Amino acid sequence: MSDKPQPPGELLRDTLDMLILKTVSRGAMHGYAIAEHIEETSEDVLRVGEGALYPALHRLELRGLLSAEWGTSENKRRAKYYRLTAAGRKWLGEESAHWTKMTSAIGRVMETA
């Protein structure tokens, strides 16, 4: 069920995962903060509904790339905080290296063409 092809126009799943992990790598964050941060830094590239974040977060938790625990938010509400695990850090490293390589390759092609 996790391997369904995604409709076009949506952010590729691995890319979303990478953005989430990258965001969380700065420290434990709850879902809303993650959404806010991705939105701010990506200048609205993420036009999917914010809700799409949650299946992704849970999937990453199940894969062991994120760990989660319940805490209290700034405004004293119960909130679930996600944190990068060692496996998550490793995966992020690999994935972002791969990403850099690919984008620079694409960039070169686009410039020369």
Q: Does 61 bind other proteins (CB under 8 A)?
A: yes
Candidates 6, 10, 27, 32; binder of other proteins (CB under 8 A) is 32
Contact pattern for other proteins over residues 68 through 87, marking x by CB under 8 A: --x--x---xxxx-------
CA atoms of 55 and 25, how far apart (whole Å): 19
Q: Rounded to the nearest whole angstrom, what is the least distance from the CB of residue 31 to other proteins in the complex? A: 5
Interface with other proteins (CB under 8 A): 1-2, 30-32, 35, 48-52, 54-55, 58-59, 61-64, 70, 73, 77-80
